[in-house]
Chain A
Amino acid sequence: MSYCVNCGVELHKSAAFCPLCNTVVINPVNPPDTHAKPPYPAEIGKVENVNSRGVALLLTVVFVSIALAALLLNLFLFKEGLWSAFVMGASLLLWVFTVPVLILRPSRLLIILLDGAVISLYCFIIARQTDDASWYFGIALPIIIMLTGFVFLFGYVVKRFKTSILFKTAFIFGELGFYTVGIELSIRYFLYNSFSIRWSAVVGTSCLIIVAVLTTVMKNTRLREEVQRRLHF
């Protein structure tokens, strides 16, 4: 047991420093007892994660029954066209959007991929119902795949590395630049069968400039601190 030389309080026998003023205890006569049990435990508790299984089940029942009802009506009553495919697709889409989020809470990346897949599937169903389905493979699918890929990449980077808000912003702008270029490329290839860019070059260049500025700010400590000071909220 020691007293803090700085603030004068008596310390617990296990204390190696003063909790109030952070002064280290140096007491040759009575050094801190490192074997003594500290006054408070060291283990950190976590709030239990709750899966909303009840809600998930309810949503599943709702979507399945809607899809089933539409299918039955389509088969036996309103037989004009395969309109129930839209309803069933939409049900599946909504189900994938809502239910995995409730159950697979920790694996967000998986959810992004699932969402991408189900959007592609729904567009495919629409394409099958229309006369000319070339737009699906020409434009829709590439745009959906690119979007999913970029969102997934962002999610992965944020999860895997410790990122600052500046880095995240720069990353988003970078992705945005590439995404617009990708969109124009697929549109032009679909319409004119040529790989060339015009308007997306403007967007892409602007994004690249923003990325360059943000990277400079990030790399330069003084500049970064200045920005933090000015923009703190």
Chain B
Amino acid sequence: MKKNTSNKRKIRHWYKLDLSANVYPTLQRRNFSSVYRVSVILKQPIQHELLQLALERTMPRFPTFAVAIHKGLFWRYLERNNKPGPFVKADVSNACMPIHFKAENRYLLRVYYYEAKLSVEVFHSVADGSGALTFVKTLLAEYYAMQGIRIPCEQGVLSCKEKPRDAEIEDAYIKYGNGKVALKRKGIHAYQLRGTQEPFYTLNIITGVAPVEKLLAAAKSYKVSVGVFLTAVLMESLIQKQKMDKPIRERDVVISMPVNLRRFFPSDTLRNFIVMLSPSIDPKMGDYTFEEIASEINAYLAYRLNEKYLKANIMTNLSVQRNPVVRVIPLFLKDMIVRNAYKKVNARESSAGITNLGIVQVPEEMKPLIERFEVLMGQPFSNRTNLAVITYENTISMSFSSGIVESDVEMLFFCSLIKKGIPVRIESNRKYRT
């Protein structure tokens, strides 16, 4: 009898949105997509019928992915979605298009195939990049299992025979959101890119593929990590771009970067567990050399990437969400307030975004089957361009996604890599500009 009740308690039909997840549905619009994409390029073309079967086997293992989003009176929430789907589809050129919450059988997840490329698009309220990567790896293992290739359940591949664990669906923000102080928000108006807006349903992608060893050697010569090195290159490109714009008054160049908190707080959650940091350079202080930019960013991160600072960072948003006044404001009012605040404040606080999913580890058996991984961020409100980086074996993929015609930042970024001795191969879905 006792066993029975504990089993019953385990079946959860709905989830509160976690801290990061709350803001995305409010902002989801025609011109703003909180959808990101994790792709894996295999050595062999994809058999989509098998992929569909594998997906159907994988979904029950990820209860927080098989959800629909609904509106409550005060907050949105995720509810278990029992409708058929999601269905594997042929890939489209406009990746990460906004998700309509009621379309596609209410799933917040899309799976695409194109030649040898398998792409999973996830709405950010469901999971962060790290969670999505686990999903992709498990899906891939199931896909190969269908072909008779056994992949052991290690290195982030979950077994679909097992039941989902509580630790995977926990809201880690709540678990670690017990700090006493919250950081103050700084309201700065960062440099904003300007450009010609592409028509809707266009996402310009430029992916650069480079060998990791070359990048690592270059980063080492500046005594920084690859992540900091790439952030510095992006920062330098943005500073140069602002100089090219010849503004009357130069603004701070700010890059917003999510930090995976699992590195600092042990958690197995597959949902969101990130905070945003934003290293910045004030070009009014003088002309920074690349070394200076790199060491500036390095110092910024060295000061902040520790448990105590990050906890205070979590508390900033958590204290708002826990505020009794905020909690009783009806959802539609919250939506109005958040949307305006985001447009007027948050969107202006950074010039570009960079997200680094780090090095992907896969089981040995899977290695000969995979060419590389790729990540893409969705379409932002403003004209900014976002960079998403992921490393697999000796290949690093750096994907820019933007909604504007001009590709100046991308060009400055990749040319800078070339000048630093890193060969880059470019792939893109951009059309020739006449």
Chain A residues near B (Cβ < 8 Å): 4, 7-12, 15-22, 24, 37-50, 52
* With A37-B115, A47-B98, A48-B104: A11-B426 Cβ-Cβ less than 8 Å: yes
CA distance A38 to B91 in the complex (A): 12
Residues of B within 8 A of A40 (CB): 91, 93, 95, 114, 205, 427-429
CA distance A44 to B433 in the complex (A): 18
Instruction: Determine how close the nearest CB of chain B comes to the CB of A43; give it in whole angstroms.
Output: 5
* With A12-B425, A40-B427: A17-B432 Cβ-Cβ less than 8 Å: yes
- Does residue B134 face the partner (Cβ distance < 8 Å to A)? no
Instruction: For A4, give the chain B residue with the smallest CB separation.
Output: B426
Which 7 residue pairs across A and B have the least CB separation, nearest first? A45-B92, A19-B428, A40-B429, A48-B103, A39-B427, A10-B425, A20-B411
Instruction: For B417, give the chain A residue with the smallest CB separation.
Output: A9
- Does residue B328 face the partner (Cβ distance < 8 Å to A)? no
- Does residue B208 face the partner (Cβ distance < 8 Å to A)? yes
Instruction: Determine how close the nearest CB of chain B comes to the CB of A8; give it in whole angstroms.
Output: 4
CA distance A44 to B201 in the complex (A): 7
B192-231, CB < 8 A from A = 201-202, 205-208
Instruction: Determine how close the nearest CB of chain A comes to the CB of B185; give it in whole angstroms.
Output: 27
Instruction: Determine how close the nearest CB of chain B comes to the CB of A2; give it in whole angstroms.
Output: 11
Chain B residues near A (Cβ < 8 Å): 90-95, 97-100, 102-104, 114-115, 201-202, 205-208, 407, 410-411, 414-415, 418, 423-430, 432-433
* With A8-B415, A37-B115: A18-B97 Cβ-Cβ less than 8 Å: no
- For chains A and B in complex, what number of residue pairs have CB atoms within 8 angstroms? 101
State which of A4, A38, A50 has its C-beta within 8 Å of the C-beta of B102: A50
Instruction: Determine how close the nearest CB of chain B comes to the CB of A55; give it in whole angstroms.
Output: 11
Residues of A within 8 A of B205 (CB): 40
State which of B92, B418, B430 has its C-beta within 8 Å of the C-beta of A41: B92
Interface of A is mostly: loop
A43 x B90 contact (CB < 8 A): yes
B201 x A45 contact (CB < 8 A): yes
Residues of B within 8 A of A52 (CB): 102
Instruction: For A40, give the chain B residue with the smallest CB separation.
Output: B429
CA distance A42 to B95 in the complex (A): 11
Residues of A within 8 A of B99 (CB): 47
Residues of A within 8 A of B411 (CB): 7, 20-21
Q: A20-B407, A39-B427 are in contact. List 15 more A-B contacts (CB 8 A).
A: A7-B418, A8-B418, A19-B426, A19-B427, A19-B430, A20-B415, A21-B411, A40-B427, A43-B93, A45-B92, A45-B94, A45-B201, A46-B97, A48-B100, A50-B102
B103 x A50 contact (CB < 8 A): yes
B92 x A9 contact (CB < 8 A): no
B103 x A44 contact (CB < 8 A): no
Residues of A within 8 A of B424 (CB): 9-10
Instruction: For A47, give the chain B residue with the smallest CB separation.
Output: B100
Interface centre among B115, B206, B415 (most CB of A within 10 A): B415
Instruction: Determine how close the nearest CB of chain A comes to the CB of B289; give it in whole angstroms.
Output: 22
B432 x A45 contact (CB < 8 A): no
Instruction: For A43, give the chain B residue with the smallest CB separation.
Output: B92
Residues of A within 8 A of B92 (CB): 41, 43-45
A10 x B426 contact (CB < 8 A): yes
Instruction: For A49, give the chain B residue with the smallest CB separation.
Output: B103
Residues of B within 8 A of A38 (CB): 429
State which of A19, A41, A48 has its C-beta within 8 Å of the C-beta of B114: A41
